[in-house]
Amino acid sequence: MTTQALPSAAIPTALEVLVILTPKRGVTVQQVMAVLPAEIRATVKLYLDGTIRQWYSRGDGKGVLFFLQAKTEDEARAIMETLPLAKEQLMDHQYIPVGPLMPLRMLLGTETQP
């Protein structure tokens, strides 16, 4: 299967950013657990503020997923850098901007962005 870039009209405007967090190579469970109480307090505050919209544990037990109310990766990165695990440099972060499922526009006959 060949990967081709989508036309710019088919690329959604990001509404949220998915952040995938996994412990850095060599980080122990004990290192994470030492920071976890502060991390939980900080993430609960972001959730109650509406910044973290959804949060999940990975099914493979290797980290967590956050959906952040952020329009860009840079905005999401700035939010995540305030958290204790990031300050201690214990986690790797992957950022994926997400938006509406664009092929659904074909159902409405509006194949370009509004």
CB atoms within 10 A of CB 21: 21
- Region 85-95: what's the mean pLDDT? 97
Please check the confidence at residue 8 and state whether its pLDDT lies above 60. Answer: no
Residue 89 Rama label (left phi>0; alpha psi -120 to 50; beta): left
pLDDT attached to residue 29? 93
pLDDT of 105: 72
pLDDT-derived band at 3 (thresholds 50, 70, 90) equals low
Q: pTM, whole model, 2 decimals?
A: 0.79
Q: CATH classification of 13-108, choosing from 3.50.50.60, 3.20.20.80, 3.40.50.1820, 3.30.70.1060? A: 3.30.70.1060
Number of other CB atoms surrounding residue 91 within 10 Å: 22
The domain ranges of the chain are 13-108
Q: How confident is the model at residue 84 (pLDDT cuts 50, 70, 90)?
A: very high
